[in-house]
Structure 1
Amino acid sequence: MARLPIRLYRAGLGPLFGKRLLLLQHTGRLTGLRRQVVLEVVAHERYDDGLSWTVASGFGPAAAWYQNLRHSPRTTVQYGNRRYTATAHFLSPEDGGAIMARYAPEHPRLVRRLCSFMGFEVDGSEAAYRHAGQRIPFVRLEAPPERHPA
């Protein structure tokens, strides 16, 4: 069941997820095999005809996809039905705090569940979300104009 979103992307049904999810392809750091994971998009931006997506590692820095991107930051992102070549940039704890403080009011239930799952106590205040966001690894996936679509 957990792999169902990947199957839907493979079947060309990525647009069903709207702008909330993306399919990340990454290379296993030990096996060298291509891996896939569906991640929630925390922020999506357009800049000088380039694109970027910010995602969070809900399982912390131990998540396989996160470690694989650390080892090999070049990746492919499928957003809707389009594929993009992207590079992973790992954000600072301060940036993560700012992102979480902006994201929490827009998605309060989801953020409360994520924080609870990760063992963070939050009281609903901006300061609490900012503190939690400083402890969650965030990654910005950037697809420059000359590299998209792939």
Structure 2
Amino acid sequence: MGLGAKFLTTRWAVRLPIPLFTAGFGFLFFGRMLLLEHRGRSSGERRYAVIEAAERESADRIVVASGFGPTAQWYRNLQAEPRCGVSIGWRRRVPARAELLDTAESRAMLERYARDHPKAWAVLHRSIVEATGDADPEIPMVRLHLQSRRRSSRAVHR
């Protein structure tokens, strides 16, 4: 297993950035990574995942990919409850709503990502294939609609 796949499948490694985000140091990731705060679909407990921002459509619309497919826990949790929170750059715990994109739109977004970031895509795709064992993994995309900066600040849903 390559280094990228090993990293993606090592729990402590993928959770390492969470304390940086929660302490307000998300800006260190230059807006390329975000902290997604969501609720467990069964437990209702607060959960966190650090995910790459695949595309910044606007300041308040960010697209992310579920590299482990539709069975990733954070993805399944957003299916059950699309209300979430996002920390990215200097913005912390911004209330947001997740929109799960259909297969066609997800595929188009991935093709655009591969075209715009060929080196990053080559490494990421190879790592996902190695980590999942699937030669052609399904990678669903999610559009996160962040509360506008102009609207009043409210805590992420309880």
TM range (shorter): 0.7 to 0.9
Unaligned runs of 5+ in 1: 122-131
Deviations 1:7-50 (A, max 9, x none): 1112221001012110000000111100011000011122xxx7
Are the aligned partners of 2:37 and 2:86 in contact in 1 as well (CA < 8 Å)?
Answer: yes
Give aligned-pair identity as a percent: 42
Query: Which one-letter code corresponds to 2:139 in the other structure?
Result: I
> How big is the alpha-carbon RMSD for the aligned residues of Structure 1 and Structure 2?
2.0
Correspondence for 1:139:
142
Asked if the contact 1:93–1:137 (Cα under 8 Å) also holds between the matched residues in 2, the reply is yes
Distance 1:147 1:75, change over 3 A: farther
Q: Which runs of 4+ in 1 moved over 6 A?
A: none
Moved more, 27-36 or 3-12: 3-12
Check whether the contact 2:14–2:50 (CA below 8 A) recurs between aligned residues.
no
Q: TM-score, normalised by structure 1?
A: 0.80
Give 2:41's aligned residue: 29
Confirm or deny that 1:40 pairs with 2:52. Answer: yes
Residues of 1 paired with 2:47 and 2:152: CA distance?
20
CA distance in 1, matches of 2:82, 2:151: 14
- 1:7-86 equivalence runs, <5 A: 7-46=19-58, 51-83=60-92, 84-86=94-96
Cα distance change on mapping 1:148 and 1:85 into 2, 3 Å: farther
Cα displacement (A) at 1:149: 4.8
| Match among 107, 114, 117 for residue 117 of structure 2 | 107
Structure 1 residue matching 2:24: 3-state secondary structure: coil
State the Cα deviation string for residues 45-98 of structure 1 (Å, max 9, x = none): 22xxx7111000011011100000000000000111313211110111111121
AA aligned opposite 1:91: L
Q: 1:13 to 1:73 in 2, by over 3 A?
A: same
For this pair of structures, how many residues does the alignment match? 135
